């Protein structure tokens, strides 16, 4: 082979593939002749073995193309190349998922979590009926809040009957009437009247209901659902107004009065109808009516009850009525009908003086078309009055098959019945026990009084005009 001296090589000179070199092989044989290509391959193998050893890399030598490539060695499925925790320094190895998770148990920044990637199922479990929020003072971690805590934070309040009486803390504040299951919401924060009822406008009954009234021990701020102190209403009007606010459906309402005297003074109790097909019964003491007294007093005469568009059959039973009014204009009355569509029935009643003078009071006045009053239970009359019943304007009055006891010879200053303006009074088979003084009846204006087997109480016979009729 040609001798090549080192001195003949220049800096930057290249070794041609055809150049030959003397090489002593590891077997100790040699020197042998090697070309430049052989030398290049030898260098690649040596460098590749040096770099690959223990690194998890492989080196592929391309003898034909005089080139080589480095590749990662094959890895198991689902693994990551690295070093396990606490394994010390060493060559990279295939890590399992659990080994990777152990390494990643530290904090993960939000940049590592994609938006909307965490599902609700990945959140910590919460107690039933709880909320996420924060009640602890100052900024901090999210907390699980109980229902009670949430109510407090929202200034939620509860009342037992009707709207709250306090001024709302903020607009939109919520309240619930726990007795009637009616919600209220605050529309402003200036006064207690800023609470507005929402949802159903009427409570719907699911059973018959009784309201209790007690003139001595009751209060109209109570709910009226039980008798006695702290429970009963004080006035009949409050019970009627409460009943009128309900949707009774097919259920009935009873207003039960305790034994007492219910003095209206110069005010009037308005009888009102209810929503639904049920009835209203105002009850005193049907065994001893004298124990529950309804009384009008003062110097201005008035109606104790006044029926206005009730649209509902109202039964009033178990009372004694009397009036001590003796001056002023007009006439005092126990019951007056001044608007259409009213029906009131009376039973187990005692009628005392209509006023102390006995000349200026009616017990019953029906004065509008469609009004109806019926005495459908036994009653007693022991007081004087001007007219027992005045029926006019297409109204109807009846005393059914009952007994009317006349005690102490009551006197009618005018008539027992006054029937006018196409009205009808029917007294079939009523029994009058005892006697009274005064005129029995006056009939005119195309009106009719129907009698079958009885005579009306009084000492003077019934008077009729040419357009009035008395039917037997």
| Token pair 């200053």: residue | 413
Examine residue 243 and state whether it is found in any structural domain, yes or no: no
Strands of 238-302, DSSP E? 246-249, 253-257, 260-265, 269-271, 275-276, 280-283, 292-296
Residues 461 and 323 in one domain: yes
Residues 181 and 263 in one domain: no
- Residue-level pLDDT at 29: 59
Residues 172 and 304 in one domain: no
Answer yes or no: are the C-beta atoms of 44 and 53 closer than 8 Å: no
Examine residue 120 and state whether it is found in any structural domain, yes or no: no
How many structural domains does the chain have?
Answer: 3
Examine residue 311 and state whether it is found in any structural domain, yes or no: yes
**Residue-number span of the structural domain to which 373 is assigned:** 259-471
Examine residue 178 and state whether it is found in any structural domain, yes or no: yes
Examine residue 116 and state whether it is found in any structural domain, yes or no: no
Residues 171 and 271 in one domain: no
Q: Which of 179, 196, 213 is the last residue of a domain?
A: 196
Residues 313 and 447 in one domain: yes
- Residue-level pLDDT at 345: 94
Residues 190 and 264 in one domain: no
- Residue-level pLDDT at 4: 42
Q: Judging by beta carbons within 10 Å of its beta carbon (0-12, 13-18, 19+), is residue 256 exposed, middle or buried?
A: buried
Residues 317 and 464 in one domain: yes
Question: Measured at the alpha carbon of residue 413, what is the angle toward residues 408 and 414, in degrees to the nearest 5?
Answer: 130
Mind listing the pLDDT tens digit for each residue in 53-82? 555 555 565 555 555 565 666 777 777 888
Answer yes or no: are the C-beta atoms of 233 and 239 closer than 8 Å: yes
Examine residue 129 and state whether it is found in any structural domain, yes or no: no
Residues 466 and 371 in one domain: yes
Tally: H helices and E strands in the chain: 4, 38
Alpha-carbon distance values, 181 to 116, 160, 224, 431 (Å): 40, 9, 17, 50
| Distance between CA atoms of residues 376 and 317, nearest Å | 10
Alpha-carbon distance values, 157 to 167, 335, 399 (Å): 12, 43, 53
Maximum pairwise Cα distance, the chain: 173
Examine residue 123 and state whether it is found in any structural domain, yes or no: no
Residues 323 and 396 in one domain: yes
Mind listing the pLDDT tens digit for each residue in 347-388? 999 999 876 454 557 789 888 888 899 999 999 999 988 899
Q: Judging by beta carbons within 10 Å of its beta carbon (0-12, 13-18, 19+), is residue 127 exposed, middle or buried?
A: exposed
Dihedral (Cα; 169, 172, 178, 182), 10-degree rounding: 140
Residues 313 and 423 in one domain: yes
Residues 68 and 160 in one domain: no
| Token pair 């407090």: residue | 152
Mind listing the pLDDT tens digit for each residue in 321-342? 988 766 555 567 889 887 777 8
- Residue ranges of the chain with pLDDT lower than 70? 1-73, 105-112, 155-158, 160-161, 180, 199-201, 299-301, 309-310, 325-331, 355-360, 453, 472
59: part of which helix (H) or strand (E)?
Answer: strand 57-62
Buried b (16+ CB within 10 A) or exposed e, 263-292: ebeeebbbbbbbbbebbbbbbbbeeebebb
- Residue-level pLDDT at 10: 43
Percent of the chain with pLDDT over 90: 34
| Prior bond of 31 cis (ω within 30°) | yes
Q: Provide the β-strand partners of residue 425.
A: 397, 449
| Token pair 């209206």: residue | 264
Examine residue 88 and state whether it is found in any structural domain, yes or no: no
């Amino acid at each position: 082979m040609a001798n090549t001296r080192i001195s003949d090589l220049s800096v930057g000179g290249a070794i041609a593939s055809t150049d030959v070199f003397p090489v002593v092989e590891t077997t100790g044989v040699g020197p042998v002749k090697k070309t430049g290509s052989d030398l290049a391959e030898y260098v690649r193998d040596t460098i590749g073995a040096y770099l690959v050893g223990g690194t998890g890399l492989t080196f592929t030598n391309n003898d034909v193309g005089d080139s080589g490539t480095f590749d990662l060695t094959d890895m198991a499925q689902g693994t990551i190349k690295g070093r396990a925790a606490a394994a010390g320094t060493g060559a990279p190895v295939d890590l399992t998922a659990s080994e990777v998770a152990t390494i990643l148990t530290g904090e993960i920044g939000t940049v590592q979590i994609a938006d909307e990637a965490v599902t609700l199922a990945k959140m910590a479990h919460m107690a039933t009926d709880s909320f996420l929020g924060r009640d602890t003072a100052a900024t901090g971690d999210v907390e699980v809040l109980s229902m009670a805590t949430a109510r407090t934070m929202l200034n939620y309040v509860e009342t037992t009957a009707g709207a709250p009486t306090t001024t709302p803390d903020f607009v939109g504040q919520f309240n619930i009437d726990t007795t009637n299951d009616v919600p209220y919401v605050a529309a402003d924060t200036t006064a207690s009247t800023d609470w507005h009822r929402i949802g159903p406008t009427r409570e719907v009954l699911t059973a018959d209901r009784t309201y209790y009234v007690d003139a001595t021990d009751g209060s109209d701020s109570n709910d009226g659902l039980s008798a006695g102190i702290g429970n009963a209403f004080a006035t009949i009007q409050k019970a009627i107004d409460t009943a009128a606010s309900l949707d009774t459906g097919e259920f009935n309402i009873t207003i039960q009065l305790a034994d007492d005297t219910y003095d209206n003074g110069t005010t009037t109790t308005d009888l009102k109808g209810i929503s639904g097909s049920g009835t209203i019964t105002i009850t005193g003491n049907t065994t001893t009516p004298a124990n529950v007294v309804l009384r009008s007093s003062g110097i201005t005469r008035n109606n104790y009850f006044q029926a206005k568009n009730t649209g509902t059959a109202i039964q009033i039973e178990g009372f004694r009525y009397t009036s001590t009014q003796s001056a002023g204009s007009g006439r005092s009355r126990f019951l007056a009908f001044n608007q259409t569509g009213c029906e009131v029935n009376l039973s187990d009643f005692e009628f005392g003086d209509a006023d102390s003078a006995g000349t200026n009071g009616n017990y019953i006045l029906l004065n509008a078309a469609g009004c109806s009053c019926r005495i459908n239970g036994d009653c007693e009359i022991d007081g004087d009055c001007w007219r027992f019943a005045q029926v006019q304007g297409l109204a109807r009055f009846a005393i059914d098959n009952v007994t009317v006891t006349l005690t102490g010879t009551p006197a009618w200053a005018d008539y027992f019945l006054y029937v006018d303006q196409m009205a009808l009074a029917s007294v079939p088979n009523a029994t009058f026990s005892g006697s009274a003084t005064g005129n029995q009846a006056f009939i005119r204006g195309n009106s009719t009084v129907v009698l079958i087997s009885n005579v009306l109480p009084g000492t003077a016979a019934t008077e009729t005009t040419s357009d009035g009729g008395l039917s037997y």
